[in-house]
Structure 1
Amino acid sequence: MKKQSNLTATYPTLPELTFRGMFLGMLITVIFTASNVYLGLKVGLTFSSSIPAAVISMAILRMFKNANILENNMVQTQASAAGTLSAIIFILPGLLMLGYWQGFPFWQTLLLCACGGSLGVLFTIPLRRAMVVNSDLPYPEGRAAAEILKVGSEIRREEAAGEDTSKTETGMKDIVLGTSMAGIFSFCANGLHIASSEFSHWIQIGKAITQLPMGFSMALLGAGYLIGIASGIAILTGTLLAWVIFVPYLTSVISPAEGQSAAAFAQAIWAQKVRFIGAGCIGIAAVWTLIRLAKPVVDGIKMSINAIRANDTEEKQILHHTDIDMSPKSVGIVFLVILAGLFVTFYSFVSAAGLPTTVTIIYIVVGILVAMLMGFFVAAACGYMAGLIGTSASPISGIGILGIIVSSLVVLGIGSSFGVFATPEGTQFATALAIFITAVIVSIAAISNDNLQDLKTGYIVGATPWKQQVALILGSVIGAFAIAPVLNLLYQAYGFTGALPRAGMDPSQALAAPQATLMTTIAQGIFSASLDWNYIIFGIVVGIAAIIVDMLLKSHTKSLALPPLAIGMGIYLPPTLEIPLVIGSVMGWFIHRYLRQRAALRSPGHEEEDVEACNHRGVLFASGLIVGESLVGVIIALIIVVSVTSGGSENPLALVGKDFETIANGIGFAAFIATIAIFVRHIITTKFTPEK
């Protein structure tokens, strides 16, 4: 592999962990955590916050004369925890859907997220040398963040030298434009209700029912641009399987309930049967991913364990600062603190069930052991997958499905031996405990998914690994403080599918929390034996077929692929959320095709740099779309909660009623088309001048 240039070799004493940097990182962490929690609960997707955090940090720290590239790097490292720790929402809402929690207890949620996230950092420390330094893994977001930091550093150098920087692009304008557009539309659609965010046209042919869906989410349009054409087409494939084959067939052979409308019947068939086909597909795709990566991950662990044994004090004296991890002593101390935190939170959770002391202790010890042991292995797998395909595309939800199955089976085995399932309350507790254990596993997987990406950025710009690891632990803890309040805020404002906080709420406005719904259903099915495994088994067959097709495409073509996990998500997610994703990915493919053709004419010999310069603006604009819609969603949720708690309306900002729906659909569609046009123009009008 190519050796990266060390930007700090000449300046080894540049400050990295500073008070102002940590404070700025804390603010960005809280903002992006709230954004990601909202987006994740709505559609089951979160976005990587490393790149936008790097841009924001760079723009703000420019106001300080002595700021530097490594300080910027630490801010984005800390803030990037927000993009991944928020993956806890893939499982934790299940405790409310189960009826075990009525809200999110602050201290339990805080300790669970902070301990799980910090473990994710510790578990990936021995992987750094093998997977970052001595690896050819691409780490797409890590490299992109490093490039942004380099640009900021160059601008600062030019300013210090008195050179003109007016033509140097930092990318802040791109993010602000995307954020503003998506924020305004989201406010009009979800606040004022003068525009629609989605609509469906229902079609019935004989007994078969399906829908023609359309969604106008700008955040998902941006996310589609980022995930790429392969994932977009795979999601479209899953959508077509669900709504062209599975739902029409099942609605034609099953009779609806008395008085049930065609739309309601088709939605019920999809939710109660077809989604489990998607679950089976997701599960087998996740297992296949882990099997495929097993050998390189095991080799990486062996190499890094051998390396860390030599990482003692004498060794550190001759190591460059860019090659020093947290010391084994520091790791041990942090690990003991985490262990104590896990014991406290597990004890508070298990002891509330009123079980015999022996059973309580067994469940606490086994729960912690399962979470930590499985967490270590998923940390290696997620770290590798993030390096391979990027943090945003790494299948955390698939890891969660494996986690809930393993946790449920372990809890089931212990409970059966001690008669825990003799009462309905005991069964409910066992299901809740399996979800609780899985929440720790998901926290570990999420942070490890991001940690190596950040270490790659640091490796490129010359940062100190142990300081980055400290920053990530700090980001995990700070982000954990925001998780419970934001979850409670969104729950009280919208509710979750199958768990509404108040009577009379509109179920169609509830946040889908798709992964949490799926994992809760799987856990309930394991404990009660009430789950119809036929649909899950059929989904596994569909997943195996998708794996075979994907392998054939990769072996016979250079660029074609059909990710099985994305097909499963296409079957599982609501189609109105998937269409903007697909449009964004297809749009991105056509844009890149045009950019490559144009670059060959206007920048011969510099085609790659030309395309990358244009795409870079697209990535930042797409990130802005995601941030804008997500932040406005959180703000609207806060307004709704204040209104409802004071006895007001659940739609306090609405200017129109449901009779405005047709016009709102037209406004939403027009705004969506306009956004696509602006998006495309913003990218293709990028100017490029090759460096001499």
Structure 2
Amino acid sequence: MLSDLRRWIQWSKRRWSLSTQNSALIEFSLPAIIIGLLIGCLLCFTNLYFGLQTGFISMMSLQSALIGFLVSKILPNPLTPQEIILVQTTATATGTMPLAAGFVGIIPALGLIDTERDGSPPIHLTWMAGIGWSCAVAFFGVFLSPPIRKQVIIEEELAFPSGTATAQLISVLHKLPPPDTKLRRRNGYEPVEDEEHIQTEPALETTPLNEPDITPAAGWHELLWSFVASGTLTLAAYFFPVIFAIPLFGTYLAREWAWYFTPSLSYVGQGIIMGFPTTLSMNIGMLVGWGILSPIAKYSGWAPGPVGDMTSGSRGWILWVSLAIMCADSLVSLLPVAWEFVVDAVHRMRFGSLSKDDGETETAGRLVPGRWVIIGWCLSVFVGIILIWIVFGHEGIKPVATFAGYVIGGLLSVLAVRALGETDINPVSGLGKISQLFFAWIQPGNIVANIIAGGVAEAGAQQAGDLMQDLKTGHLCGASPRAQFYGQLIGSVVSIFVTTTAYSLYTRAYPIPGPSFPAPTAYVWLTFARLLRDGELPENSYIFMVVFAIVFALISAVKYQASKKQVWWAKWIPSGVAFAIGFLNTPSFSIARLIGGILEHVFRTRYARSGGDIRLIVVASGFVLGEGVTSVISLILKTFGVGVASCMGCAQTGVCGGCPS
């Protein structure tokens, strides 16, 4: 009996030692994964819906952590802070696949290719081909994250403001001491909270937060009523489309110049999440593009077609100016990051590390082994090359060129992560254009190859950047990087099937691009590929492109210097990317977001009880998720032939809010 007891004690000690060394498995819990996947699937449909409408998606990591916390409170055993981080990581990996796999830009762009103009027929992927393409780009960015993590989070201690804000939120909700965010600032530059091309997170105040200004019950109440309100309005707009097409300045301007208002609560919620400075930049761009340049192009005869036409109308004409602004802003924003990267790399090669201790606080059992990264990246690239060749054929893009795309994408991912860590901006659009520039030389004249190569680079940059925000959150809250890595892989696998299926359902029910889902970024990809091939521009557009590119290059440089000096007015300098997005989308999309931005500013400056008051974030999350989930119901109704109840109002105004006719 005594010997049995001794053996049991020895077995227990060995088991405890094993659990301590592999504590990643303790944090890797099934409830956290299931909750993360459920939230991520909702975000996946939501991001695909809004991405096809406006070109914007949201990372929603902070919202995922918040919803995961509220859900866990109804479980018998609430999740720990580390498990909430696993929920957030899994949800983010699942929810952002519509952008990573190009379903809001690359895939619609391939469908816009014209046989006569581009020398290649349009490409419409089947469900199986979509699965193959998604598998080709879904993982190599994930395998890039662990080695980059050590450099940017441990050694350089970059801020990653959104990831830091999420860590603070989790600490607030669990009533833990605030995470240590006193980071080393490179060259005296402290990042400001700013906008991001496709995703933005509201940053909490950086002062210590100990008590949340919200209880789980109140959080559920506010989330549910905002969800129901947004969903009800969306469903009503499906049956009565005029609700989402209200003339602002009379029926003539609404019908002929696209000046109408879409009172979508989800757009208001996105504006709250984006913040007032970003939405203000977007609306200034909207006024310049649609209020000044569009009439100039129309009345000068440079864009004689209907205003909303992307080919012959002024919307297609101002698209080129938008493209010039994006490229100039992204290039200037990337130059300091690239320069600092080169300087640091040269310094390490000449002098080595200043210390043998790299500051790593995690044990080997909680880190992702280097051999996993090497083998996983090589396999993902090898399989990706084969899958892309199968999906698009040798005439689409050569295997050697695809391999070059992965290599370029890996290098650009480093810049994306560093830019995101320092400025909270992931310049994936500009990085995709850089890849397109390379492929205009590698495989000249091939529109398909150019777009695909840009998509591969964008996928790596977007994944590596987004997942690094989650790893920053985990680092501040003591979560296992290996557990987060598992969550990223699982989320990516599930999202391949969810995203592809959702996109297939949308294409069966709606024309894409079309009135309901214009997919504006698809035109950006195709337009730039055509420009690189033949250099043709719409009449007199080059003058405005050059002027606006110079202006916003200077503005971006001033914004960087102001941020470096930490002046208060830095965040109020217009963002070039947000300004350009105002050109891409009709005024109806921008105005509602401005309302949300104003609400965020007023609430934060006048009504928020403390830096930890997250009531408005909860409401914004409900607004966004309400329309996103209801869009699935609308999709089902559309698929089964259930149309609108009445087109009343549309005929009188001449503005269609989504009628099938």
After TM superposition, the structure 1 stretch with the greater mean CA deviation from structure 2, 470-479 or 130-139, is 130-139
Deviation string 1:33-62 (CA, Å, 9 cap, x unpaired) is 121111101011001221222233223334
8 A Cα contact 1:286 1:398, kept in partner? yes
Aligned residue for 2:202? Answer: none
2:57 maps to amino acid: T
8 A Cα contact 2:294 2:315, kept in partner? no
Pairwise CA distance, 1:433: 2.2
Aligned residue for 1:71? Answer: 83
8 A Cα contact 2:32 2:86, kept in partner? yes
Mapped pair 1:278 → 2:312: no
Determine the C-alpha separation between the residues in 2 that align with 1:460 and 1:288: 31
Deviation string 1:253-309 (CA, Å, 9 cap, x unpaired) is 21886xx77x668995322311111111111111112113213444677899988x9
Mapped pair 1:367 → 2:379: no
8 A Cα contact 1:222 1:625, kept in partner? yes
Aligned residue for 1:590? Answer: 602
8 A Cα contact 2:169 2:612, kept in partner? no
Mapped pair 1:562 → 2:570: no
After TM superposition, the structure 1 stretch with the greater mean CA deviation from structure 2, 275-284 or 107-116, is 107-116
8 A Cα contact 1:120 1:443, kept in partner? yes
| 1:595-610 alignment runs, 5 A limit | 595=607, 610=609
Shift of the 450–297 alpha-carbon distance from structure 1 to 2, 3 Å rule, reads farther
Aligned residue for 2:262? Answer: 215
Aligned residue for 1:612? Answer: 611
Mapped pair 1:486 → 2:502: yes
2:296 maps to amino acid: Y
Shift of the 9–222 alpha-carbon distance from structure 1 to 2, 3 Å rule, reads farther
Aligned residue for 2:186? Answer: none
Q: Residue 93 of structure 1 aligns to a residue in which SS?
A: helix
After TM superposition, the structure 1 stretch with the greater mean CA deviation from structure 2, 109-118 or 275-284, is 109-118
Shift of the 214–660 alpha-carbon distance from structure 1 to 2, 3 Å rule, reads closer
Aligned residue for 1:395? Answer: 427
1:240 maps to amino acid: L
Q: Which runs of 5+ in 2 are unaligned?
A: 1-18, 115-120, 177-212
Shift of the 183–293 alpha-carbon distance from structure 1 to 2, 3 Å rule, reads same
Mapped pair 1:233 → 2:280: yes
Mapped pair 1:655 → 2:661: no
Determine the C-alpha separation between the residues in 2 that align with 1:264 and 1:238: 17
1:196 to 225, 244, 250: 244
Determine the C-alpha separation between the residues in 2 that align with 1:574 and 1:546: 21
Shift of the 300–459 alpha-carbon distance from structure 1 to 2, 3 Å rule, reads farther
8 A Cα contact 1:281 1:541, kept in partner? no
Q: Residue 171 of structure 1 aligns to a residue in which SS?
A: helix
Determine the C-alpha separation between the residues in 2 that align with 1:464 and 1:302: 31
Pairwise CA distance, 1:192: 4.4
Q: Residue 610 of structure 2 aligns to a residue in which SS?
A: helix
Determine the C-alpha separation between the residues in 1 that align with 2:389 and 2:309: 44
Shift of the 109–540 alpha-carbon distance from structure 1 to 2, 3 Å rule, reads farther
Pairwise CA distance, 1:566: 1.5
Deviation string 1:557-615 (CA, Å, 9 cap, x unpaired) is 522311112222222222211111222223322333324xxx7xxxxxxxxxx43233x
Pairwise CA distance, 1:471: 1.8
Aligned residue for 1:32? Answer: 43
Mapped pair 1:182 → 2:203: no
Aligned residue for 2:640? Answer: 642
1:539 maps to amino acid: M
After TM superposition, the structure 1 stretch with the greater mean CA deviation from structure 2, 59-68 or 120-129, is 59-68
1:56 maps to amino acid: I
| 1:151-162 alignment runs, 5 A limit | 151-154=172-175
Pairwise CA distance, 1:134: 4.2
Aligned residue for 1:104? Answer: 125
2:170 to 149, 153, 161: 149
Deviation string 1:147-172 (CA, Å, 9 cap, x unpaired) is 343355449xxxxxxxxx99566734
Q: Which runs of 5+ in 1 are unaligned?
A: 1-7, 156-164, 416-429, 498-506, 600-609, 644-651, 669-692
Q: Residue 508 of structure 1 aligns to a residue in which SS?
A: coil
CA RMSD of the aligned region, Å? 3.8
Aligned residue for 2:593? Answer: 581
Shift of the 639–183 alpha-carbon distance from structure 1 to 2, 3 Å rule, reads same
Aligned residue for 1:461? Answer: 477
Determine the C-alpha separation between the residues in 2 that align with 1:177 and 1:303: 55
Determine the C-alpha separation between the residues in 2 that align with 1:460 and 1:266: 46
Pairwise CA distance, 1:210: 5.2
Aligned residue for 2:523? Answer: 517
Determine the C-alpha separation between the residues in 1 that align with 2:311 and 2:494: 39
Aligned residue for 2:180? Answer: none
Mapped pair 1:132 → 2:176: no
Determine the C-alpha separation between the residues in 2 that align with 1:144 and 1:177: 25
1:130 maps to amino acid: Q
Mapped pair 1:330 → 2:337: no
TM (normalized to structure 2)? 0.78
1:54 to 48, 54, 65: 65
TM (normalized to structure 1)? 0.75
Mapped pair 1:345 → 2:387: yes
Shift of the 664–143 alpha-carbon distance from structure 1 to 2, 3 Å rule, reads farther
1:294 to 329, 338, 342: 338
2:629 maps to amino acid: L
2:430 maps to amino acid: G
Shift of the 56–322 alpha-carbon distance from structure 1 to 2, 3 Å rule, reads farther
Q: Residue 613 of structure 1 aligns to a residue in which SS?
A: coil
Shift of the 458–170 alpha-carbon distance from structure 1 to 2, 3 Å rule, reads farther
Determine the C-alpha separation between the residues in 2 that align with 1:662 and 1:613: 48
8 A Cα contact 1:117 1:446, kept in partner? no
Determine the C-alpha separation between the residues in 1 that align with 2:302 and 2:137: 46
Pairwise CA distance, 1:552: 4.3
Pairwise CA distance, 1:94: 1.0
Determine the C-alpha separation between the residues in 1 that align with 2:388 and 2:321: 33
1:508 maps to amino acid: P
After TM superposition, the structure 1 stretch with the greater mean CA deviation from structure 2, 378-387 or 401-410, is 401-410
Pairwise CA distance, 1:327: 1.3
8 A Cα contact 1:350 1:364, kept in partner? no
Deviation string 1:451-478 (CA, Å, 9 cap, x unpaired) is 1110111012111112212321222222
Pairwise CA distance, 1:526: 2.9
User: What fraction of aligned residue pairs are identical, expressed as a percent?
Assistant: 18
8 A Cα contact 1:24 1:57, kept in partner? yes
Determine the C-alpha separation between the residues in 1 that align with 2:24 and 2:386: 40
Determine the C-alpha separation between the residues in 2 that align with 1:450 and 1:255: 40
Tell me the number of residue pairs that the alignment of Structure 1 and Structure 2 aligns: 582
Determine the C-alpha separation between the residues in 1 that align with 2:126 and 2:98: 16
8 A Cα contact 1:50 1:76, kept in partner? yes
1:381 maps to amino acid: L
8 A Cα contact 2:324 2:549, kept in partner? yes
Determine the C-alpha separation between the residues in 1 that align with 2:61 and 2:148: 20
Aligned residue for 1:679? Answer: none
Shift of the 310–490 alpha-carbon distance from structure 1 to 2, 3 Å rule, reads farther
Shift of the 79–301 alpha-carbon distance from structure 1 to 2, 3 Å rule, reads farther
Pairwise CA distance, 1:352: 6.1
Pairwise CA distance, 1:350: 4.5
Determine the C-alpha separation between the residues in 2 that align with 1:187 and 1:237: 31
Deviation string 1:401-449 (CA, Å, 9 cap, x unpaired) is 333333334220xx6xxxxxxxxxxxxxx21222222222121111112
8 A Cα contact 1:201 1:211, kept in partner? no
Q: Residue 174 of structure 1 aligns to a residue in which SS?
A: helix
